[in-house]
Structure 1
Amino acid sequence: MVEIALLSVAVLVILLTLGVPLPYCFGAGLMTMYFVGDVVMKGNMLWGFYQLGNPVLLAIPLFVLAGTIMSVSGIAASLLNFVNIFIGHLRGGLGVVATISCALIGAISGSGLTGVAAIGPLLIPEMEKQGYPRAYATALIANASLLGLLIPPSVTMIVYGWVTDTSILACFLATLGPGLLIMCSFSVVNLRLARKFDLKLEERPQGKAFVKEASSRGFRATPALLMPVIILGGIYGGIMTPTEAAAVAVIYAIPVGFFIYRGLTIKTFLGAGKEAATSVGAIMLMILFSMILSQMFVLESVPQELVEAIFAITDNKVMLLILINVLLFLVGMVVNDVTAIILIAPLLLPLMDAIGISPIQFAAIMGVNTAMGGVTPPYASILYLGARIGKVPVTQVIRPAMVLILFGYLPVVFLTSFWSDLSLFIPRYFGY
């Protein structure tokens, strides 16, 4: 049955690579299982629709809506303005501002696309004025937007926790350490690369002028800074579930956007709602089809056969982890993170159990690997969006993006796999 499952996945991947619309790709994968594998379809379809009623999944559209509102309301601009006063004057400082701003937005929206959509239009032109190549500025912001998939709350970790029956809060905490480390590594790599650019730096205000300006920007940014405090404090403090926190994020973002930053109008609010609804519709459709395909694999005992097949190759833990990372990287290149998690997590979880990797650490391993797919072609949805916002050809953005991935991201991927404390230290502190 492994052969049929692999054939189904191959059909799915080939069609995705050819640019066939997503529903048809999954439909072809399901039909392969149905006709070649003689799998019963009706019961699986009913099971899939029933699973979509899970309250946990309600957090996904709410976080997407909150992130979309935030990107048009002025919340992102106020965060950017506040961070810039401290390090924007340093050589490479504006790149660090971009990275930290994307991390802050990730702590609110749970999406990787929100960072590049909110920060890109503001910072790419500013970075170009300061002397950064426009393609590099676009690549940096697109790569830093991956932090939205790792800094909690994260839509992908909600899906992983739901699929694997793992605590969603523990999954959030597992990717926090790797996410913060990636933020720091991107900042360091940016500072090193910025030495090659002929940058025009502004002078930092001194003494009382600096204190006055920082206080003014900090006061204006307070409502925006309170947003991640309320959301994450409520989740980690046990006051709110992730779904309730997502609802609070929407409720908080609307009046802040309308009455404080005034970036929201009736027109932009309705536009944000339409954009969020479109994104959520695509996400839920992906979840439904990929979940049904994954369930078919489980019913046919594909995970168990896959574990036996892999152990027949090697039982060395280090080699197995390397193979798994390579597999996740290749899958992330052709499908989005949510699809990859739903398809791969149930298949590999028994293998991870067999080699002593906890589901919580596996959440971090899957998170950092599948997030990377957002900037690695052919999928690379975040990179393509960044290129469109930055108004530069994708071919020019790929090279600096790959430099950042190679030196700033990949080392953390391997640390997450081989140094368990990176992903487990914070969950253990909270009792997981």
Structure 2
Amino acid sequence: MVEIAILAFGVLVLLLTLGVPLPFCFGAGLIVMTVIGEATMRGMMLWGFSQLTNPVLLAIPLFVFAGTIMSVSGIAASLLQFVNVFIGRVRGGLGVVASVSCAIIGAISGSGLTGIAAIGPLLIPEMERKGYPRAYATALIANSSVLGLLIPPSVTMIVYGWVTDTSILASFLATLGPGLLIMLNFCIVNLFMARKFPLVLDEPLEFSELLKQGGKKTINAIPALLMPVIILGGIYGGIMTPTEAAAVAVIYALPVGFMIYKGLTFKILLESGKESASAIGAILIMVLFSLMLSQIYVMEDIPQMMVDKIFEITDDKVLLLILTNLFLFGIGMIVNDITAIILTAPLLLPLMSALGVSPIQFAAIMGVNTAMGGVTPPYASILYLGARIGKVKFTELIKPAMTLILFGYIPVVVLVSVWPDLSEFIPRMFGY
């Protein structure tokens, strides 16, 4: 059966390499496993559709819709102006604004695409006007946008908690520390990079004027700032489940977008709904096929066989963690984060348990690796979107993006693997 699983995985990787749409790739792997193996397609389809009725999955379309509304309603713009008034006049401060704004938006939308979609059109031209190279500005915002996959509530951690039967709140909290550390790294790297750019800085404000503008922007941003407070406070306080919090995010964003920031109209809302529905449909079809394929692997005891084979090669924990990170990073480079988690989490969790790595720490390991894959070619969906929004050639983004990954991401990948407290300390505070 191992040979059939390897064949199915090989077909999957081959089709991905050829550029075949993701659902068809997983469908082909599924056909190989059901035609040659013992599982039946009818049985797997019935099982797969029963899994899609899980209320936990309802949080995904709701967070995607909330993120789309944020992008077009003026909520994101108000957050950007709020952060900019305090640090926008510091050399390199505009880059810090980009990273922090993406983190705040990530704490609302749960998506890695919302940051670049909402912040990019506003901030990339402004950063270029202030002396930043356009390619660097685009790469910085695109890389910071993946913080939406790590700063809770995160759609990927909802999926991880679902497929591994781990507390979703604990999974959220596991990636919070790494996410904030990556944001800090991006800010530091940006401040060093900004020293070689011919930046044009605004005149410093008098303290009284700073207070005046800061007060004005703070008041304007209060409705937007309340959004993460309500969502995260409700989840962490045990008042709402992640699904209920996602629904509240949509309900809250509508009156704020219509009546306070007035960037939302019924026409724009309809277009946002269509855009969200299209994205959600593609995601759920892909989830269905990839979930069925991974379930067949579990049914055929492939994970345990894989663990046994790996321990025949080596039982060194550090080496195995390095290999696991390289494997996850490689998977993240060819498929999106949700697919990578559904496909590999059930396979690798027994190995992690054998190594003494808790499901909570493994959530962080998977989160940072699959998020990094979103800005690493060839998949690099967030980076490709950044190139379109920033109107720059993709090849121009590679160098600044790789610099940010090398100094901003890689250290956190290493830390989250060798230092369990980075991912487990905050969950322990909440009793996990």
TM over 0.5: yes
Q: Secondary structure at the match of 2:90?
A: coil
Q: Distance in 2 between matches of 1:425 and 1:150?
A: 16
Equivalent residue number for residue 383 of structure 1 = 383
Equivalent residue number for residue 117 of structure 2 = 117
* Preserved contact between residue 17 and residue 378 of structure 1 (Cα < 8 Å): no
Q: CA RMSD in A?
A: 0.8
Q: Distance in 2 between matches of 1:115 and 1:126?
A: 16
Quote the offset at 1:312 in angstroms: 1.0
Equivalent residue number for residue 12 of structure 1 = 12
Q: Which amino acid aligns with 2:11?
A: V
* Preserved contact between residue 79 and residue 224 of structure 1 (Cα < 8 Å): yes
Q: After superposition, what is the alpha-carbon deviation per residue over 1:27-72, rounded to whole angstroms, capped at 9, x for unaligned?
A: 1111121233343221111000000000000000000000000000
Equivalent residue number for residue 145 of structure 2 = 145
Quote the offset at 1:23 in angstroms: 2.2
Equivalent residue number for residue 313 of structure 1 = 313
Query: 2:299 matched to 1:299?
Result: yes
Q: Which amino acid aligns with 1:296?
A: I
Q: After superposition, what is the alpha-carbon deviation per residue over 1:276-320, rounded to whole angstroms, capped at 9, x for unaligned?
A: 111111111111000000011011110010001111111010001
Unaligned runs of 5+ in 1: none
Q: Distance in 1 between matches of 2:87 and 2:298?
A: 51
Write out aligned runs for 1:270-289 (5 A).
270-289=270-289
- Structure 1 runs (4+) deviating above 3 angstroms are none
Q: Secondary structure at the match of 2:96?
A: helix
* Preserved contact between residue 60 and residue 155 of structure 1 (Cα < 8 Å): yes
Equivalent residue number for residue 75 of structure 1 = 75
Q: Distance in 2 between matches of 1:3 and 1:137?
A: 47
Q: After superposition, what is the alpha-carbon deviation per residue over 1:139-180, rounded to whole angstroms, capped at 9, x for unaligned?
A: 000000010000000000000000000000000000000000
Q: Secondary structure at the match of 1:196?
A: coil
Q: Secondary structure at the match of 2:411?
A: helix
Equivalent residue number for residue 227 of structure 1 = 227
Q: Which amino acid aligns with 1:143?
A: N
Quote the offset at 1:373 in angstroms: 1.1
Q: Secondary structure at the match of 2:195?
A: helix
Scaled by the length of structure 1, the TM-score of the pair is 0.99
Equivalent residue number for residue 193 of structure 1 = 193
Q: Distance in 2 between matches of 1:17 and 1:220?
A: 47
Quote the offset at 1:204 in angstroms: 2.6
* Preserved contact between residue 13 and residue 335 of structure 1 (Cα < 8 Å): no
Q: After superposition, what is the alpha-carbon deviation per residue over 1:62-95, rounded to whole angstroms, capped at 9, x for unaligned?
A: 0000000000000000000010011111111100
Quote the offset at 1:129 in angstroms: 0.3
Q: Secondary structure at the match of 2:398?
A: helix
Query: 2:260 matched to 1:260?
Result: yes
Q: Secondary structure at the match of 1:191?
A: helix
Query: 2:342 matched to 1:335?
Result: no
Q: Which amino acid aligns with 1:320?
A: L
Q: Secondary structure at the match of 1:263?
A: coil
Q: Which amino acid aligns with 2:397?
A: V
Unaligned runs of 5+ in 2: none
Q: Which amino acid aligns with 1:120?
A: G
Q: Distance in 1 between matches of 2:13 and 2:223?
A: 44
Q: Distance in 2 between matches of 1:298 and 1:415?
A: 30
Q: After superposition, what is the alpha-carbon deviation per residue over 1:243-266, rounded to whole angstroms, capped at 9, x for unaligned?
A: 000000000000000000001011
Q: After superposition, what is the alpha-carbon deviation per residue over 1:163-206, rounded to whole angstroms, capped at 9, x for unaligned?
A: 00000000000000000000000000011111110000112311
Q: Distance in 1 between matches of 2:136 and 2:7?
A: 39
Q: Which amino acid aligns with 2:128?
A: E
Q: Distance in 2 between matches of 1:134 and 1:4?
A: 48
Q: Distance in 2 between matches of 1:4 and 1:412?
A: 36
Write out aligned runs for 1:32-431 (5 A).
32-431=32-431
Q: Distance in 1 between matches of 2:313 and 2:143?
A: 35
* Preserved contact between residue 79 and residue 221 of structure 1 (Cα < 8 Å): yes
How many residue pairs get aligned? The number is: 432
